[in-house]
């Protein structure tokens, strides 16, 4: 939805947040029994459910790589996830986002330990209100870890936007549609390695450097949340 009025009034955003405030974050690990690992992550009204299958034999066989395993990601926004019904199935956007999510996650996985096999991640967006790709990356990272896939580190992600000339964290749907620029950022916080920077729109060099720093700080917080969600799951399992 395009709006003409200001998106920041008296230092507050359309949903009442301060520029550097993220929405309420919820994380839950282990929701799909048939999957090897799964997780659901919400940033406010954006919710992603990720399920990991594998490492497992890959079909069609010609896709097998004798040197390493392959990661496949399928991102999809469900028809009821947005106000205006989204037609089901893959479109250009979901193909692009699937690739971006895979690119952000791949550097964290020891794929060389799994020649000829594949790891499949299916991410479904149950509710969308901006920043679905970064929410998907967080959910997929948790799902991979809960599947026991050997990883160098968790991958944490967040979005940063430029709205009314102000840098804001964790953009919602209205901000996404009306911002001057938006940047998706992912990193392995324990390794201090960035795995994704993707930007639409324009920022000055100074703004870009500040946005990256904001992303880095936020990912460190998300890292603690991801570790906490995994800890909670294993405490539950230990009690059973």
φ/ψ region of 122 (left if φ > 0, alpha if ψ in -120 to 50, else beta) reads beta
173 binds ligand UDP (CB under 6 A): yes
| Collapsed DSSP state (helix, strand, coil) of residue 105 | helix
Whether 159 and 171 have beta carbons less than 8 Å apart is answered as yes
Distance CA 75, CA 122 (A): 6
Angle (CA) 196-189-150 rounded to 5° is 85
Q: Which is nearer to ligand UDP, 29 or 158 (CB)?
A: 158
Angle (CA) 221-218-107 rounded to 5° is 90
82 binds ligand UDP (CB under 6 A): yes
170 binds ligand UDP (CB under 6 A): no
Angle (CA) 123-127-131 rounded to 5° is 75
Which of 231, 196, 216, 225 shows the shortest CA–CA distance to 108? 196
In the list 12, 26, 56, 93, the residue contacting ligand UDP (rule: CB under 6 A) is: 93
| Collapsed DSSP state (helix, strand, coil) of residue 228 | helix
Q: Which is nearer to ligand UDP, 109 or 137 (CB)?
A: 137
130 binds ligand UDP (CB under 6 A): yes
Q: Which is nearer to ligand UDP, 104 or 230 (CB)?
A: 104
Q: Which is nearer to ligand UDP, 108 or 128 (CB)?
A: 128
162 binds ligand UDP (CB under 6 A): no
133 binds ligand UDP (CB under 6 A): yes
State the nearest-atom distance from the C-beta of 81 to ligand UDP, in Å: 8
State the nearest-atom distance from the C-beta of 158 to ligand UDP, in Å: 11
The site for ligand UDP (CB under 6 A) is made up of: 82, 86, 93, 128-133, 173, 176
């Amino acid at each position: 939805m395009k709006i003409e009025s200001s998106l920041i009034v008296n230092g507050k955003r359309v949903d009442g947040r301060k520029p550097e405030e993220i929405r309420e974050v919820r994380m839950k690990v282990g929701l799909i029994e048939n999957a090897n690992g799964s997780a659901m992550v919400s940033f406010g009204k954006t919710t992603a459910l990720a399920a990991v299958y594998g490492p497992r034999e890959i079909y069609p066989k010609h896709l097998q790589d004798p040197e390493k395993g392959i990661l496949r990601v399928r991102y999809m926004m469900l028809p009821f996830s947005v106000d205006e019904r989204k037609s089901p199935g893959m479109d250009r956007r979901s193909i692009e986002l699937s690739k971006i999510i895979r690119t952000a996650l791949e550097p964290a996985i020891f794929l060389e330990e799994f020649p000829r096999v594949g790891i499949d991640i299916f991410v479904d967006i149950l509710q969308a209100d901006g920043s679905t790709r970064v929410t998907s990356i967080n959910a997929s990272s948790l799902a991979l870890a809960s599947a026991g896939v050997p990883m160098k580190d968790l991958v944490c992600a967040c979005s940063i936007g430029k709205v009314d000339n102000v840098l804001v964290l964790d953009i919602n749907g209205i901000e996404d549609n009306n911002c001057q620029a938006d940047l998706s950022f992912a990193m392995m916080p324990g390794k201090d390695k960035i795995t994704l920077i993707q930007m639409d729109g324009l920022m000055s060099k100074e703004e870009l450097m500040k946005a990256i720093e904001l992303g880095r700080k936020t990912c460190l917080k998300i890292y603690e949340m991801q570790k906490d969600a995994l800890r909670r799951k294993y405490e539950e399992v230990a009690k059973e």
